[in-house]
Amino acid sequence: MAAGVLLAILSGLRQFGVISPPIINVNGNPIFTGVSLAASAAGSLVQGGILLVLLSIDERIQNRGQ
pLDDT, tens digit (0-9, with 9 covering 90-100), for 49-62: 899 999 999 999 98
Q: Give per-residue pLDDT as tens, 10-45.
A: 777 777 766 665 555 556 666 666 777 777 788 888
Quote the domain boundaries for residue 18: 2-64
Q: List, in order, residues 6 or more apart from 45 with CB less than 8 Å away.
A: 1, 4, 5
**pTM higher than 0.85, yes or no?**
no
Distance CA 6, CA 41 (A): 8
Overall domain count for the chain: 1
* Cα angle for residues 27, 28, 29 (degrees, 5° grid): 90
